[in-house]
Amino acid sequence: MSAEQSWDVVVVGGGPTGENLADRARAGGLTTVIVESELVGGECSYWACMPSKALLRPAAALADARRVAGAREAVTGALDAAAVLARRDEFTSHWHDDGQLSWLESVGIDLVRGHGRLDGERRVVVDTPDGGRRTLLARHAVAVCTGTRAALPDLPGLADAGVWTSREATSAKHVPGRFAVVGGGVVAVEMATAWRALGSEVTLLVRGERLLDRTEEFAGRLVSDGLRAAGVDLRLGVSVTALHRDGGLTLDLSDGTRLPADEVLFATGRTPNTADLGLDTVGLAPGRWIDTDDTGLATGVPGGWLYAAGDVNHRALLTHQGKYQGRIFGRVIADRAAGRPLDVERWGRSVATADHAAVPQVVFTDPEVAAVGLTLRQAQDAGLRVRAVDYQLGHVSGASLFADDYRGQARAVVDLDREVLVGVTFAGPGVAELLHAATVAVAGEVPLDRLWHAVPAFPTVSEVWLRLLETYRG
């Protein structure tokens, strides 16, 4: 017989999405509890955003120094791999969540450790680490914030090969000598960048014909050039057909060749953490994404009590978007519980509009890629009448000061009927810090006539905004 206890809101999943949702619900006057089976803080804190960027930042700092005469002469050595890994460990709190627990306690959010499953309407059953079982009852809402896990292909020999997923790639304690990376997306290119800078011989195997195929084509091309310049063996149009580990690891490739490696990372997509979540008890299919409306309510579940936020709803698989949803949906839950009308006007705070039109993302390679909104192709496919405005970043005074022989490109996608931006992409060294201005312009649908009055400081790379507007006006 399991013990039963009630809260206003039960949040399954204690990553940044679940933390934000629980905090906003609590701020709205509701009692909240988080159920977490691993570390509070989730994937981002321990195996994704924080450790990966901690690995990548030293490489970027070194590359930036080498791009400027006078500084490059002072940089004569390689990265200290041990120091980089030690700094990475600091950013993950050495895979302990004591700091997160202190925060939960300070804001009054309860925690139940263990694996939680839905058990019908407003019920969550938790198998606890000590072998016990608890039943948590939600007076108002259950929010599923369980995220995703790495998706691995069904290949001969893979199960016995000891392959890396993103978790092993960001938490490894040693630098592999020969490192194979399978995939052409963000995780693949970032980990190829990081481990090459740390001394691995990296081979990047990409099934398609370009990298970062969800970005503008020029962005993938510039990243390809950067990886090759760094010494990465980039092979396009090649996939893995089988793996063998007999003393060493060998990959059979689709072009008939074999590739020996010490470690191999499969960065081949993500799948939702919903297979063992009890979705069948509420009429949903286990192992599938949980569809929601813009207020976070799960579609297909009657009663208006089940929410899903973050990666698990497949709206935008990015930590900052999950946190954004958590803030909005937590407020929605509190407002509905109190009988308050929702603010659902065009710019209302009760709907997650940015998941559709203004999602920002940075790829921390060398060069960086920073993009928000739609690509030219995506805008055209959506039926918009658009024009792409391109400008070479190396022609901007601030960029030429930032790095000698600066190479990069900017593109703004203009909706011609409304004369607003629906997408912006930058590719080049140090462009990540340009992104929020673009996000404000796209999310705010700022008219181009108003952007003329947002004067960029000289001499900064942000002067590209003026050049894009001048190019558009002709």
Which mean pLDDT values do the consecutive 10-residue runs of the chain (474 residues) have?
Answer: 85 98 98 98 97 98 96 94 98 97 97 98 97 97 98 96 97 98 98 98 97 97 98 98 93 98 97 98 97 96 97 96 97 95 73 89 98 98 98 97 97 98 98 97 96 96 97 92
pLDDT of residue 50: 97
| DSSP E strand boundaries for 146-200 | 148-150, 178-182
Q: Which residue has the tokens 């934000």?
A: 20
* Distance (Å) of CA 124 to CA 2, 118, 135: 11, 5, 6
Report the C-alpha gap between 149 and 42 in whole angstroms: 11
Secondary element (H or E) of residue 141: strand 133-144
CB 30, CB 333: distance < 8 Å: yes
- Structural tokens at position 100: 């997160």
Which residues does 127 contact at the CB level (< 8 Å), separation at least 6? 114, 115, 117, 133
Closest CA to 45 of 84, 101, 83: 101
Q: Which residue has the tokens 């290119």?
A: 189
pLDDT of residue 1: 42
The C-alpha angle with vertex 72 and arms to 70 and 87, in degrees rounded to 5, equals: 125
The C-alpha angle with vertex 69 and arms to 66 and 73, in degrees rounded to 5, equals: 65
Q: Give the 3-state secondary structure percentages of the chain, helix then strand then coil, rounded to 5.
A: 35, 25, 40
Which residues does 302 contact at the CB level (< 8 Å), separation at least 6? none
Report the C-alpha gap between 408 and 425 in whole angstroms: 11
> Which domains occur in the chain, in start order?
3-41+97-149+271-354 (3.50.50.60), 166-268 (3.50.50.60), 367-473 (3.30.390.30)
Q: What is the DSSP letter of 152?
A: -
**Helix (H/G/I), strand (E/B), else coil: 45:** helix
Q: β-strands 248-253, 258-261: how paired?
A: antiparallel
* Rounded CA Rg of the chain: 24
- Structural tokens at position 111: 């925690």
Q: In this structure, which amino acid lies at residue 214? A: R
Closest CA to 472 of 444, 441, 455, 448: 448
CB 187, CB 176: distance < 8 Å: no
* b/e code 14-23 from CB counts within 10 Å (16+ = b): bbbbbbbbbb
pLDDT of residue 354: 86
pLDDT of residue 342: 87
Cis ω for the linkage preceding 16 (within 30 of 0): no
Which residues does 148 contact at the CB level (< 8 Å), separation at least 6? 43, 270, 271, 272, 273, 311, 312, 317
pLDDT of residue 346: 59
User: Which residues is 178 bridged to in the sheet?
Assistant: 201
